[in-house]
A and B are shown apart, each in its own frame.
Chain A
Amino acid sequence: MNKVITVNLNGRAYQVEEQAYELLRGYLDEAARLLEDDPDWREILADLEQAIGDKGARLLAPGKNVLGEEEMKRILAEMGPVETAPSPLGEAASAGASPPPREPAGPRRLYRVKEGEMIAGVCNGLAAYFGVDPTIVRLVFVLLLFLSGGLVAFAYLVLMFVVPEATTAEERAAARGLPFNAQELVDQAKKHYAGMKESTQRWREKRQRNRERAFWRPREQRGAGEAEPRPFDRPQPGYGAQVAAGFVLPIASLLTAALTVACLVPVASLLTTGEVFGVGLPFDMPPWVAILGLAGAYALVTAPLRALRHATYESLGPRRRAFEFWDGVLRIAFVVLALWVATRFLPGVDDMFRSLFQDWRETGSRVGEMIALVPLP
């Protein structure tokens, strides 16, 4: 038994098996990628969809209304690979004896390079950036480590978080880049400025295209949360966004953790003594109101931080899962550490927690009292 997915091919619905859908999607994604520079990509894609649909319709019969994997393979083999039509001017020029284009002069950027790394690829990335052997960078690093009394280790940690890892081919190329000099930087800046308008336009078109491509994606048959977005759907975040995420994420995380502690301590204090650091509650406010108020305030204050953290996860692209995990672990570790420091160095807090855990029964009855104080309608 196979799952069936309904697809929309140029305005007509077809039922295809899941494997057939994957094939179809692969073909159309590839076609869209190849036709990227064609001004009429939209129309060509619609033509291709229609042709696939027509071929499919011929394979269907009254007793058969679903296309299987084998049939889809046959249809796509009949369609043949998408070949981009040569552009009238460009092709003629490049078909001549012009020398092969030199490597794309992308801007060189500092990335962590994981191929052959020792710790996190920082030295390796620096070596790629400056075009020297990684061993030299590592020796210099170790030397500086001794000279600075360990301060360089901290710098390494910071770089580890802030410098993005080169995960795509483009990023790996950018990590090495071309010989770096001031003139090139100026040229790059000029070119960038000139191309800015054009690229904005292209970006808009691409966004539009991505939206339209969603057109033939499966409808409700699939669970909404089930379809994991693919790298193709998720635009690779830019270098700037990745660096910014490296900065923002730890700060947002630490702030959240600090706020958690700032909320937990008064709650514990309220539970044990009914007071916050020796100060009674104003207006004879019952403790449960204060705790609820604290919880509300906590949720309110951390909401933007949480949103910020999730936004940075998003911009981390393929690295997001690992970051989400370690961010969570670090946050919890920080809360535990902060509580430990508080019990160790603030005598009041220590007593408070001691009584909270030792006189567990008393705390229980206190909570019971608080609940009893809740006016029932």
Chain B
Amino acid sequence: MALEPKLLSIRKGLLEFVLLKIVSADKVYVADILGRLEGTEFATQEGTLYPLLSKMRRENLVDYEWQESGSGPPRKYYRLTARGRAQLAELNDYWRDINRTIQKLER
């Protein structure tokens, strides 16, 4: 089907936005993020998530700290940086604008 690749690229483009949203709500580790996205359009896997989070950390959007877990080795808990929060706000605005434009075009 010709539609699926287009949808895929939309989802891929939005994944970073979605991650910023999830991380902004709470300190999370990767299994939390995967759990939150499971069953949604944005369901993803470690193979995708770790490289993306690493890139976002490099861009100083998220940061992480090690936290001991009850079972097993310590985990990386991610949270937003000031810059990440600013970018999330911008993206939220942009998303609202896009929605508005699309709704306007539908009339």
Which residue numbers of A lie inside 8 Å of B, CB to CB?
10-12, 31, 35, 38-40, 43-44, 47-48, 50-51, 54, 57, 78-88
Residue of B51, B54, B55 ringed by the most chain A CB atoms within 10 A: B51
Tell me which of B45, B51, B58 contacts A78 (CB under 8 A).
Answer: B45
Interface size class of B (residues with CB under 8 A): 10 to 19
Residue of A10, A44, A84 ringed by the most chain B CB atoms within 10 A: A44
Assess whether B82 is interfacial by the CB under 8 Å rule: no
Residues of chain A within 8 A of B59, CB atoms compared: 88
Residues of chain A within 8 A of B48, CB atoms compared: 80-83
Closest to A51 in B: B46
Contact B73 A12 (CB under 8 A): yes
**How many cross-chain pairs have Cβ atoms below 8 Å apart between A and B?**
63
In the bound assembly, the distance between CA atoms of A62 and B85 in angstroms comes to: 45
Assess whether B44 is interfacial by the CB under 8 Å rule: yes
> Which secondary structure dominates where chain B touches chain A?
helix
Kindly list 5 other residue pairs between chains A and B, CB separation below 8 angstroms, not including A40-B54, A43-B54, A50-B73: A40-B57, A54-B73, A83-B51, A85-B56, A88-B59
9 tightest A-B CB contacts, nearest first: A80-B45, A85-B55, A80-B47, A82-B47, A47-B50, A83-B48, A85-B52, A85-B51, A40-B54
In the bound assembly, the distance between CA atoms of A85 and B56 in angstroms comes to: 9
Assess whether B72 is interfacial by the CB under 8 Å rule: yes
Residues of chain A within 8 A of B51, CB atoms compared: 35, 38, 44, 82-85
In the bound assembly, the distance between CA atoms of A274 and B49 in angstroms comes to: 81
In the bound assembly, the distance between CA atoms of A40 and B55 in angstroms comes to: 8
In the bound assembly, the distance between CA atoms of A374 and B48 in angstroms comes to: 76
Residues of chain B within 8 A of A51, CB atoms compared: 30, 46, 50
Contact A31 B55 (CB under 8 A): no
Tell me which of A11, A48, A87 contacts B55 (CB under 8 A).
Answer: A87
In the bound assembly, the distance between CA atoms of A84 and B50 in angstroms comes to: 9
Tell me which of A38, A80, A88 contacts B54 (CB under 8 A).
Answer: A38
Residues of chain A within 8 A of B11, CB atoms compared: none
Closest to A83 in B: B48
Assess whether B76 is interfacial by the CB under 8 Å rule: yes
Residues of chain B within 8 A of A35, CB atoms compared: 51
